Amino acid sequence: MIFKELNKPYIIAEIGCNHNGNTELGLKMIKSAKDCGADAVKFQYFTKENLFTEQYMSDLDEGSVKIENIDKWETKELNLDGVSEQIDEFINDKEQLGVFKKYCDDIGIDFGCTPVDADGVYFLKEINSSFIKLASMDADNLEMIEAAIDTGLPILISTGMADLQEIDAVYNLFKSKKFDNFSLLHTVSIYPPRDEIVNLNFIDTLNALYDCEIGYSDHTLGFSVPLAAIGKGVKVIEKHFTLDKEMFGWDHKVSADEKDLKIICEEGNKVYRTLGSSYKVLSPEEIEKREKFRRSATLNVDVRKGHVLTKEDFVYKRPGTGIRPGEIDYVLGRKFKNDTKKDKTLLLSDFD
């Protein structure tokens, strides 16, 4: 898969850890994403040990550090207390990701994953992931990006929390490595962001600055913003996905459910098809319709042979098969070749 060769929106259903660690639920979600029209699913691969310090993990468990979509909560259904236990329960391991990758291959949907360290990057290379997705937290981690480049796999990287100087550094690294199969994703790393900070117009800036596919990773509620991004010409869309927005877990409330995802896929492709060209191009259908809907000079009186045409002799009526309004000066003041009846569509051949 080559991002610059996409000819339609590439919709990624970000399952992440929304399967809550349940392999059967994960498989069901992959099939559902495929049925909704998604082109790919994406998971996450991390552990407590390679993502958090012990103190940070303790602060999350105690609630002294809070993240929008990860918080301390208890449920009788899952019998989990604290973020640490949630992570142990919900995260993907290599065996589970291998099962998901094989199932994606079997049913014909792309598989992608977000690693957080070199071990994860090399594992994705080993299972021949369709792409590597680097999270916004690694937009300033050039060492991590370089490790992903070395795999040769297509790369997506979110740019949430990154300023333009940092995005420049990422882009320049790709180019210095002569690696072109990547996409920079405009992202706002808030779950969910206020409408006023989504800033879709920045997509235009990214397109103007960088010679690569610009995409959009969405954390808003619903489906309208991904469709708006597609309306700006974006061809790579990532959206969190769940089967139930009320399910216990981290990202369910900011995710698209099956109804939302189907709308993004179906209407997104429709929106993209309507973008067309930046040039005014008349379709064959419109050209054909001109003859039916435009108007021609039409006699409003009977005239005799030799009569000199004046503006009082005609009006404009359909069809548009005769002398058009812009051509009338060619025949004003000229003589008719023959007697001609009222309501005749005038042609150049009617005049001497």
Which of 242, 275, 308 is a domain's end point?
A: 275
* Residue pLDDT tens, the chain, 352 long: 899 999 999 999 999 999 999 999 999 999 999 999 999 999 999 877 777 777 877 877 777 766 665 554 444 455 556 777 778 888 899 999 999 999 999 999 999 999 999 999 999 999 999 999 999 999 999 999 999 999 999 999 999 999 999 999 999 999 999 999 999 999 999 999 999 999 999 999 999 999 999 999 999 999 999 999 999 999 999 999 999 999 888 889 999 999 999 999 999 999 999 999 889 989 999 999 999 999 999 999 999 999 999 999 999 999 999 999 999 999 999 999 999 999 999 999 999 9
pTM over 0.75: yes
Q: For residue 59, is it within any domain?
A: no
Domain count, the chain: 2
> What span, in angstroms and rounded, lies between the C-alpha atoms of 272 and 214?
14
Q: For residue 82, is it within any domain?
A: no
Same domain flag for 311 and 221: no
**Domain housing 125:** 3-46+91-275
Cα 348 to chain centroid, rounded: 52
Q: For residue 73, is it within any domain?
A: no
Same domain flag for 171 and 241: yes
Cα 149 to chain centroid, rounded: 23
Same domain flag for 172 and 222: yes
Q: For residue 295, is it within any domain?
A: yes
CATH number of 288's domain? 3.90.1210.10
Q: For residue 289, is it within any domain?
A: yes
Same domain flag for 267 and 290: no
Q: For residue 63, is it within any domain?
A: no
Same domain flag for 119 and 254: yes
Q: For residue 325, is it within any domain?
A: yes
Same domain flag for 231 and 299: no
Neighbours of 153 (CB within 10 A): 19
CATH number of 140's domain? 3.20.20.70
Which of 246, 275, 304 is a domain's end point?
A: 275
Same domain flag for 229 and 312: no
Same domain flag for 168 and 289: no
